[in-house]
Amino acid sequence: MKGKLILQDGTTFRGQLFGGSNATTEGEVVFNTGMTGYQEILTDPSYCRQIVTLTYPLIGNYGTAKQFNQSRKSFVGGLIVGELCETPSSSSMQKTLPEFLTT
């Protein structure tokens, strides 16, 4: 599904939605430069209602596993990635990143 990010000054970025509904969300756009740890970022309460941009180009390549949660659920208002890995591979993977975001 197509989506867009509209900044306060009206600047618009178009992209694909994944991992959730097509609901509208509002929040501060922040970035994280980590090469790994996207699940830890998603479940970190300090990112509550923020829209997190991950600067590493490929996200989702090792999926998600409950043992890496920092808290009980994802707190972010949104997640922006350059490229989503459609076929993650890890022996500890329990869900893909889109599956994790919809449950």
Could you report the per-residue pLDDT of 13-69, keeping only the tens digit for each? 999 888 766 678 899 999 999 999 999 999 999 999 999 999 999 999 999 999 999
Q: Is the pTM of this model over 0.85?
A: yes
Domain boundaries 27-102, CATH class: alpha beta
What is the structure's pLDDT at 92? 94
Cα three-residue angle 63-67-69, rounded to 5 degrees: 80
Q: Six-digit token pair at 6?
A: 């509209």
DSSP letter string, 30-76: EEE--SS-HHHHHT-GGGTT-EEEE-SSEE-TT-B-GGG-SSSS---
| Contact between 70 and 76 (Cβ < 8 Å) | no
Could you report the per-residue pLDDT of 71-91, keeping only the tens digit for each? 999 999 999 999 999 899 999
